[in-house]
Structure 1
């Protein structure tokens, strides 16, 4: 399937490298809209440089960000400073190393494809308080016509957004984009089947910019 020629794709990739921006942060406002105005404890899994943790801190009584990379956790602590006394960062591996819950909110952005899917979703379910909310922004392997169509549509959109954000100037990669990444193995359909089996009522949706979203509310009163 060739909507854009290889030459055009290569040109866009060079352009994007000169005007990088954080696709995950693009979804932070949407993610916050899935959450209550106020909540108790929150956990951000794969917190990176801590951007989402600091946003959650404006609504939560307590927020913990975890990441398996000690260097990026140190950067998150440095960027946060002592502005939030109710925010902590720690080095931990998911899913086995998750801090003990329960949590009213668990978020996981562009990390789930690095982890064992069923085991991680099960652990999230166990750590979520009754009535709590899980929000995932993830990556899936392209398989269907719709997947490829959204992927190709995202290429020029990515370039245009980078140009607008940087006003046409070249820019370095944001700190939040310096983590090691790898392609997703599971398709959107595979993720959906697993999620709906383990998290009944989970809402999944394909998105632009090579992402999908998953929202699940744990049974029980908040």
Structure 2
């Protein structure tokens, strides 16, 4: 006999399967609001099928998207107009990044797959003076606040799925995010280590099991 909690979780999973939506794309508009109106170059790390990279072309002269999965990079290229100022490359961000510097670096739901401190240090080095780094990441819940946000995210998740699928029964979104590997770091650790590498970085816990990080490099090109 299943408990009430197990039955509730099963019902939620069934609803999500019937009404999937992209939790990462939910933050794309927020990401754009953190960026200048215009900038020269942008790098999207863990670009997936390229949704954010294509949106960045409305602000940037040149956009590069990288992902470690050759198949998903191929899909990103298929979905992108040849005239768009964006290129997609297979690259492992845990070891290297395409030569910069970049005015903007974005990384959505990919940092937990990479060595945390080393990757942030690499982002800092590849960011141009005055440039902006924006991360939407995942952590493992540990604090009371995180668990509360997780609880609040459940009805919010159901509501978003219902709204996005209203009138589109039986259809699925073009892209659906999936947590290929669970996050291992807790948010207090992310906060502490990020601020050691990126002094003054702004980090916040968010709905839908995400956190955000925004850091702007000073004009002197701080190291």
Computed over aligned residues only, the root mean square deviation of the Cα atoms, in angstroms, reads 1.6
User: Residues 49 and 176 of structure 1 are in contact (CA less than 8 Å); yes or no, is this contact kept in structure 2?
Assistant: no
- The unaligned stretches of length 5 or more in structure 1 are none
TM-score (structure 1 length as normaliser): 0.94
Q: Paired residue for 2:149?
A: 150
- Using the TM superposition, give the Cα deviation of residue 210 of structure 1 relative to its aligned residue in structure 2, in angstroms: 0.3
Q: Matched residues in 2 for 1:175 and 1:150: separation?
A: 25
1:45-84 correspondence to structure 2 within 5 Å: 45-84=45-84
> Please, what TM-score do these two structures have when normalized by structure 2?
0.93
Please show how residues 56-135 of structure 1 align to structure 2 within 5 Å.
Answer: 56-84=56-84, 86-135=85-134
Verify: 1:218 aligned to 2:217, yes or no: yes
Q: Structure 1: how far apart are the matches of 2:170 and 2:136?
A: 27
- State how many pairs are aligned: 217
Structure 1 residues 11 and 180: alpha-carbon distance in aligned structure 2, compared to 1, 3 A threshold = closer
User: Where does structure 1 differ by over 6 angstroms across 4 or more consecutive aligned residues?
Assistant: none
**2:200 is aligned with 1:183:** no
- Conserved 8 A contact 2:47-2:65: yes
Distance (whole Å) between structure 2 residues aligned to residue 182 and residue 172 of structure 1: 23
Find the counterpart in structure 1 of residue 11 from structure 2.
11
* Matched-pair contact (CA < 8 Å) for 1:205–1:214: yes
1:180 to partner: Cα distance: 6.3
CA distance in 2 between counterparts of 1:32 and 1:10 reads 35
